[in-house]
Amino acid sequence: MFASPWIAGLVALFAWWFSTGVILVVVRRADSVQAPMWAVLGMLPLMVLGCVGAWVSMADAGLGATYVGFVSALAIWGWIELAFLTGVITGPNRMRARANVPEWERFIRAWGTVAYHEMTLTAALIALAIASHGAVNRFALWTFGVLYAARISAKLNLYLGVRKVNTEFIPRALDHLPSHFREARINWLFPTSVTLLSFATACWMERVAHAETAPEAVGFALLAALTALALLEHWFMVVRLPDEKLWRWMLPQNERLLEEGPDAIR
């Protein structure tokens, strides 16, 4: 069953939704008890398992190793995202954006809010590239690479301006971050971003169609689904749809009532 590219696509969809939801729940709990460092340290085994899983998968071209490499890359990515969202690994600038500053200064200040996080992601990508050099299975690297490219594109689009800036799940540690975003109907980068993501999705799908083995077909199907989800997330930035409802229901009842206000209790 798991040798089917269609099943692989569903696995990628579930992994994207579930991992995002888990991170949001952990971040919200850490935010409510003001223990971000403990949350990051408590989830450190996830990072270790991700690194071990990625390393082990590189020496095996089998179906199981393909899934292990994909999930391991998500685990590494997820831990780094958790460290960012809890405010443990962010950047030197924790101040709100200043109004009426030159664009170059605005960019430097915005970069300062995420600098350490971006450096950590880049270091992880380089480490995976070095470790997988000459490996028979590089799907962990490619998975992380897709996430990395899509995240950079999303951040740049938020900085340049998009129609919908979703700040519902921003924790207290990052309450300065939305001030560095910009709302606009569209920006010059967005058409390029969605075109490249669409092209990448099509390329992965072409590789699925011409894969010589089931593990290869599954691996490229996982990448195609993940890239398509990244493309969908980009469109959510310009189309006003309540995509936050995909995860809001996972939050504890008392926290949802607190977010929605007194009217939710009636």
> What is the pLDDT of the chain when averaged over all its residues?
90
User: Can you tell me the distance from the alpha carbon of 40 to that of 171, in angstroms, rounded to the nearest whole number?
Assistant: 14
* pLDDT over 90, % of the chain: 75
**Nearest 10 degrees: Cα torsion 83, 86, 91, 94:** 180
Q: Is residue 187 classed as helix, strand or coil in its secondary structure?
A: coil
Residue 261 CB: number of other CB atoms within 10 A?
Answer: 8
Check residue 124 and give its pLDDT: 98
Check residue 257 and give its pLDDT: 36
Structure tokens that stand for 159 in this block: 């900085």
Domain ranges, ordered by start, for the chain: 5-256
Is the pTM of the predicted complex or chain greater than 0.75? yes
User: Can you tell me the distance from the alpha carbon of 26 to that of 19, in angstroms, rounded to the nearest whole number?
Assistant: 11
Query: Are the CB atoms for 69 and 218 separated by under 8 Å?
Result: no
Query: Are the CB atoms for 80 and 95 separated by under 8 Å?
Result: no
Query: What confidence category does residue 131 fall into, taking pLDDT thresholds of 50, 70 and 90?
Result: very high
Label residues 29-50 b or e (16+ Cβ within 10 Å = b).
ebbeeeebeebbeebeebbeeb
CA atoms within 13 A on the CB side of 140: 36
Helix axes 214-236, 139-160, angle to 10 degrees: 10
Check residue 117 and give its pLDDT: 97
The residue to which tokens 């071209």 are assigned: 61
Residue 229 CB: number of other CB atoms within 10 A?
Answer: 21
**Distances from the Cα of 244 to the Cα of 142, 251, 264, angstroms:** 27, 11, 17
| 3-state class percentages of the chain: helix first, strand second, coil last, to nearest 5 | 70, 0, 30
pLDDT 10s digits, 233-247: 999 998 877 767 777
Q: Which region among 19-33, 150-164, 168-182, 250-264 has the lowest average model confidence (pLDDT)?
A: 250-264
pLDDT 10s digits, 207-236: 999 999 999 999 999 999 999 999 999 999
Structure tokens that stand for 156 in this block: 């740049």
